[in-house]
Structure 1
Amino acid sequence: MPAKADVLKQYEVYGYRIAMYLLGDEASAAEAAKDALAELYRTDAFFRQPSAQQMRTAKQAFMRHSLSTKASSRSCLS
């Protein structure tokens, strides 16, 4: 089994692109992508999934963290 970091490296750019699309801000996108990658790193089941399922799981994590970041930034503005 490849090292966790090697597996996550495959999704790093993909995740940043999702976050950037949803957030439109480089700093927020980088933070959301970092948080999603950290979550995936802590999820051992992720590393046992076939690659197609890993892609879906990663996409969900990137979207969830991006939307959470967006909601947090909006509440700070209120």
Structure 2
Amino acid sequence: MKRPMLRLRTVALTAILTVIVSALSLVLVRYAGLARSPADAWIQARTLPNTDVNPYGANFFLSREVEEWKRQRTVQMAR
């Protein structure tokens, strides 16, 4: 009695896996087709405002520094 039920489950699982693999292959084939399209078909990246500045910055918290000579030395080193 268990043998036919096991066979039915195996067939159902195989059918489900076949459908999943087919759908995945369809998606991958379409993606590969898009990846092969000419460069003119791609949309150019737009420029972002205020991105022509130096990306590196520093925050020294000089307002918290107690000793004046340390503030001046920090500013000298930062230049």
TM-score band, normalised by the shorter chain?
A: 0.3 to 0.5
Bigger helix share: 1
Q: Give the TM-score of the pair, scaled to structure 1.
A: 0.36
- When normalised by structure 2's length, the TM-score is 0.35
Larger Rg: 2
